[in-house]
Amino acid sequence: MDIVERFLKYVSFCTTSDENTGMTPSTPGQMEFAQYLAEELKSIGLTEVSLDENGYIIATLPGNVERMNELTSERIPVIGFIAHMDTSPDASGKHVKASIVKAEERDYIDPRYKGQDVIVTDTTTLLGADDKAGIAEIVTAMEYLIQHPEIQHGKVRIGFTPDEEIGCGADHFDVKKFGADFAYTMDGGAIGELEFENFNAASAKIHVHGLNVHPGTAYHKMRNSMRIAYQIAVMLPRFQTPEHTQGYEGFYHLIGMNGTVEETTLSYIIRDHDRTQFEYRKRELEHLVNKINAEYGAGTAEIEIRDQYYNMREKIEPVMHIIDLAKSAIKSAGVTPVVKPIRGGTDGARLSFEGLPCPNIFAGGENFHSRYEYLPIPSLKAAMNVILEIVKI
């Protein structure tokens, strides 16, 4: 199947994840998509295809050579490629209406793609290139290798995960069963990007308890939890937010506020590349909650902080040859490598800490998590070619 046709089929599945269900996968559409993928992988000729009860898929492309060459006994490493099936809850992923246009037909598409065919939506939903582009690239590359047995390669493992967008993609990933020496997530953005540094990440929920009485008799009695929550929000540094930071700069990001006079919840994500600063940011939120309790009384505010993943750099640096390999493959695919830190995270970050070094390679899309997400077709094809070049090398 052509890679574009394959991608357009994939985005027809609604796989939006949901952190509030407490299930894995968190939404039924992800399992429906997983079942489709498992059957597709079998049909193109992959072996050892497994789909577990949590929606994780693992499959094998058997190697057709075992040693580096006739003069050495050095084993060819087992390489893995990983992508996630879910799409972000930040925008709807239901009833995606995708079409192919020239880049200059949409004013939100970067001018550098002028003249290229680009996959877009009608802007009522996201597209789902994050990360169905990655899945399409991996599957199409595996199909190509099966159809071209003259290309020599070692054993390749592929893995597709649920719920990456809510920080749970690696929760039930069996690194030992996967059995790769190292892997790459095909989950990056623009063409050429190669990433082995990412944010340290945590989520935080602050619950504020108020007291509601009739407003006519509220004097010195009412405690409006929404106003107290707002007080917490404005005590954080104004310019340490996503819209005011870049590069290695960390931030606090208020992603949700729900409340009444009686109860209000603030939902934050905390990000920083530097581990020391990351720990400081968590302590600062706890300090603000303590200040509120000192002012309004013990128990007025409560905080829950959950670490999500850490900066993979410390796990990649001892095996930098896998970055060199990716750079060579990107160049061989006719693309200029762009090594940069991820202002986000991938399954690879957590997997690196579980013993599977796993840097990130571009999938080609832009404006992820947005109704204005788009995917240049040359970028999609280039990412697939990078996979082929890695396997060949």
Burial class of residue 376 in the structure, from the number of CB atoms within 10 Å of its CB (0-12 exposed, 13-18 middle, 19+ buried): buried
145 three-class SS: helix
Q: Alpha-carbon dihedral of residues 348, 108, 137, 88, nearest 10 degrees?
A: 50
The residue from 40, 86, 131, 143 that is catalytic is 86
Q: What is the DSSP letter of 217?
A: G
Q: Is 131 one of the annotated active-site residues of the chain?
A: no
| Residues, the chain | 393
Q: Tokens 């590069």 appear where?
A: 247
Whether residue 377 contacts residue 366, with contact meaning beta carbons closer than 8 Å, is answered with no
- Number of helices (H), then strands (E), belonging to the chain: the values are 10, 15
What are 5's two structure tokens?
A: 């046709």
The residue from 130, 137, 164, 165 that is catalytic is 164
Q: Is 86 one of the annotated active-site residues of the chain?
A: yes
The distance of Cα 98 from the centroid of its chain, to the nearest Å, equals 21
Contacts of 355 (CB under 8 A, 6+ apart): 175
CA dihedral sign of residues 346, 347, 350, 356? negative
273 three-class SS: coil
Dist. CA 256–CA 253, nearest whole Å:
9
Closest CA to 315 of 288, 346, 284, 281: 346
- DSSP code string of 17-68: --TTS--SSSSHHHHHHHHHHHHHHHHHT-EEEEE-TTS-EEEEE--S--BS
Whether residue 127 contacts residue 119, with contact meaning beta carbons closer than 8 Å, is answered with yes
Closest CA to 282 of 167, 204, 347: 204
Cα distance between the two ends of the chain: 25
4 three-class SS: helix
Catalytic machinery residues: 86, 164
